[in-house]
Amino acid sequence: MIAKILLFFRAGEYQPQITDQKTIDSKYSKYRKEILASIVALYGFGYTCRLALSVVKKPLIDSGVFSITDLGLVGSAYFYGYALGKFLNGFFADYANVKRFFTFGLITSGLINVVMGLNQSIILWVVFWFLNGWVQGIGAPSCAITLTNWFSPKERGRYYGIWSTAHAIGEGLTFLGSAALVDYFSWRAGFVGPGILLIIITIIGYNYLQDSPKSLGLPSIASWKGEPQKTPVTNSFKEVLKNQLKIIKLPSIWILGLASATMYVTRYAINSWGVLYLQEIRGYSLIEAGGIISLNTFTGILGCVAFGFISDKYFKARRPPVTLMFGVVEIISLIVIFFGPNSTIVLTIAFLVYGFTLSGLLAVLGGLFALDIAPKNISGAAMGFIGLFSYIGAGIQEKISSLLIKTSTLEASSDLVYNFDSAILFWVVASVISFLLSLTLWNKKIED
């Protein structure tokens, strides 16, 4: 049974290369468009099945289904599952047929979300949300491998930026669509609806994904583009494993992992607790809070593309200078969000700016720079290594944030009054630390 499963997920065998240049050009042009659109759409909709918990927290707390510490436990279980899953799946993805591997993860995540919406057991929630994190961890490494297989280093920044818009699209769909489902039906709809939709979309998207070019009889992307390639393209187990083990010897990868981890503290603090913060501290309704949070995700689409385009075109694929610019503005926007006037206009503008800059930083710290540094045939391992750091950071954030918010909660009459002061300080300091760590990579250049 295990042998059959491994055989099913194994990367496609290299096929005899097509010799007709017109056919090669035509297939490359067609596949690249379909593949890019597919990974953006599928990864984006996949996000709706990882963020469902964010929009159901207040209904669950108010109805007495779970406490705030229960939800902190469930949320952290996801992040630890994702960290471990992304790390191990990243290494496995370097050997896998990413078309099958990626879609398997998405369909499984959809099924888990449906199950989540049909029960109220805290034990099952922790277990299933951990498993959801694990299978969601298949997505980023699979997409990273797809990008390095089908897009060359000189154009990687802009196309990675386009793919990175997927998380902003998914967050926007969650904070608008899922929030609407919860508001009009119940918290259960926030899980079941996205779960069913993701399964349907994944079945459709499967037809437009492809494995590596060589599995289709096409030359490597470097050969097709006429660009030099230092790392030979091979699916040899020994060669890939040898390169994967090089990851732990790169100091820059460790620094990048820590910078990403602290950035993910802030990122998921906003995603996980932002709606509750806007409801309890700023006085907005669920729909209003979801709408404001969703604004930063839509400008995040522009931020991802802008970061990749600017670093490729104006800095010759050097990421640190653009990271500096985005980092400064991101920290300023956070200060306005949490310490600025209680004005909807000011808050909206701050979230728009925050989303733009954060998404650019996520693109570079969460994967793009790692792909620049790592050999081409271990893109999955590089993404997995960074992902391990990133989501351990996110998981730690979830637990610490829930404790900081809870310990600042007081009884006032029959209502709970939330005090986010300690949590906010934790979130902002995390961004500052990430910014300082990223500056230490100033002289690190693209390797391939």
- 86 pLDDT exceeds 70? yes
Q: Please state the rounded mean pLDDT for residues 155-184.
A: 77
- Backbone φ, ψ for residue 213 (5° rounding): -55, -40
The residue among 28, 46, 57 whose CA lies nearest residue 398 is: 57
Q: Please state the rounded mean pLDDT for residues 49-60.
A: 79
Confidence band (pLDDT; 50, 70, 90) for 377?
low
- 69 pLDDT exceeds 90? no
Half-sphere exposure of 227 (CA within 13 A, CB side): 14
Higher pLDDT among residues 400 and 62, named by residue: 400
Provide CB contacts within 8 A for 377, sequence distance 6+. Answer: 94, 231, 232, 233, 234, 235, 239, 240, 243
Which tokens go with 93?
């993805």
- 130 pLDDT exceeds 90? yes
- 113 pLDDT exceeds 50? yes
Domains with residue ranges and CATH for the chain: 27-439 (1.20.1250.20)
- 125 pLDDT exceeds 50? yes
Average pLDDT, rounded, for the chain:
79
Confidence band (pLDDT; 50, 70, 90) for 448?
very low
pLDDT tens-digit map of 282-305: 877 777 777 777 777 778 778 877
As a whole number of angstroms, the distance between CA 443 and CA 189 comes to 49
pLDDT tens-digit map of 6-48: 666 676 677 777 777 888 888 888 888 888 899 999 998 888 8
pLDDT tens-digit map of 292-351: 777 777 787 788 778 777 877 777 767 777 788 888 989 999 999 898 888 888 888 888
Which tokens go with 255?
């620094």
The pLDDT of residue 2: 61
Averaging pLDDT over each range in 69-73, 118-122, 411-415, which range is the top one?
A: 118-122
Q: Please state the rounded mean pLDDT for residues 215-230.
A: 72
Judged by phi (left if over 0) then psi (alpha if -120 to 50, else beta), residue 283 lies in left
Of 78-87, 114-123, 358-367, 400-409, the least confident: 400-409
Which tokens go with 339?
């310490």
